[in-house]
Amino acid sequence: MSTQPTDSFDLLEATVADVHAAMADERVTAEALVDRYLARIDAYDDDLNAILTVNDDARERARRLDERYESEGVVGPLHGVPVVLKDNHDTHDMPTTAGSVALAESTPPRDAFVVEQLRDAGAVIIAKANLQEFAFGVDTISSLGGATRNAYDLERRPAGSSGGTAAAVAANLAAVGTGSDTCSSVRSPPAFNDLVGVRPTRGLVSRTGIVPLSETQDTPGPITRTVADAARLLEAMAGYDPADRVTARGVDQVPADGYVSHLDDDGLEGARIGVARQFFGLRNEANGSETDAEAITTVIEDAIETMEAAGATIVDPVEVVDLDRLASARVLQYEFARDFDAYLSELGDETPYDSLAEIVETGTVAPAIESRIEAAGIFDVDAGSLDENLGYLRRLERRERLRETTLSKLVEHDLDALLYPPSRVPPVAIPDHQPFEEMNCELAAHTGLPSIVVPAGFTDDGLPVGLELLGGAFAEPRLFELAYAFERATDDRRPPDRFGKLE
């Protein structure tokens, strides 16, 4: 097989299935595929500012996979597929920086569990993407990488914290990508970049080797251009990890025939979708205009009509939870320093820093992130006494009640999913900051329930809008059915004009 790039394979918008079909037909090799994606990174990332580090070993890894392909066929379901990782995923052969200048030289001794899973599935790690520094916020600004831009409007934010991955995948700088979600991070960046993102049920995917922000909320998840690729990627990422005991909950929860078997054109036929109206509209006029919020609502209303036309019963509205009570279950301010410091201790000599506080004291943290840390009172918490901290313990208990309430609403209305926009407002113009208050991330994050974001269309200004569907515990198969049917009925994914084919 030739290892040279060939014009017979159209790289733009290529799916995992497209890649494997092209390999089978000898139209492309893994090595040629890597070369072509690297060429796109070289040509386009100066505009996007999405990539922090390119993997110097990607070509050699692809070459080895091509040799194995000749002798034994595909080594796994992601054979030769170039993947971009959010740079808070540990990699033994590349730095893992969390976007921080202080960690620029930090190369962990081992891969994150999900990175091991991806490599075992045959993936090629092609690069690592910029993120909101420490994943703390929704802009994608870091001291190491600067500000990432939206693939559809370079003057606007891509959301965060996984904005680098989302911008890169949207612009076809990799076939698929990964993010992590504490609150919004694999949902609002896909929504703002016309992509699919999945926040899995807590316990389905391991967090070992992911730079932590909040132990009880963090989870990795896929960011892709299609629902089918999200299904394939999540299946590869999921699995029991003895080092992360919460994954015991996910044992036997992936269908024996895989998530892809649940991709059904008629998946909306007979479905019951509840519209969570309390997540629509502007919450605070300081965050934008009613016109901004209405632009999102208009697109979502059209999406609801499409679902109904495809056979779904729409239950509208469904009052899910009290929003003030939902917000009062936040625990990040309690867990961040404790969990981050524990991560640093595991690195040992790989970093000269023992704590988040030490890193902040260096003065190297991006000002927007340092001010958020200060405003949140992160260093006012005594991490050693959290087991006795009534404020913290009450918030954890509140989460259990919120989870029970949300599940009861699904049961009472006989719903397959709840529907709402991931963000109440579109991407904001740089240098403004994306308002967290207008993100609808907390329902999934605080309950641990799964959700999927799919492209829903565009505003009149050409900005992507996403639609989020939240289901019951380990309801990923049903969510994939619904999302795939909606995707097929709408075909709302389109690549950004600025990043077309290379000459």
Active-site positions? 86, 161, 185
Length of the chain: 503
Dihedral of CA 324/325/328/332: which sign? Answer: negative
Nearest to 443 by CA among 290, 228, 209, 274: 274
User: Under 8 Å CB-to-CB from 285, ≥6 apart: which residues?
Assistant: none
Cα–Cα distance for residue pair 423/150, rounded to 1 Å: 15
Q: Positive or negative, the Cα torsion across 421, 424, 425, 430?
A: negative
Q: What is the dihedral of CA 288, 157, 175, 252, to 10 degrees?
A: -50
Residues facing residue 124 across a β-bridge: 82
Answer for the pair 208, 113: CB distance below 8 angstroms, yes or no. Answer: yes
Is residue 171 classed exposed, middle or buried when 0-12, 13-18 and 19+ CB atoms within 10 A define those classes? buried
- DSSP secondary structure, 442-453, as one string: HHHHHHT--EEE
Q: Within 13 Å and on the Cβ side, how many CA atoms surround 177?
A: 40
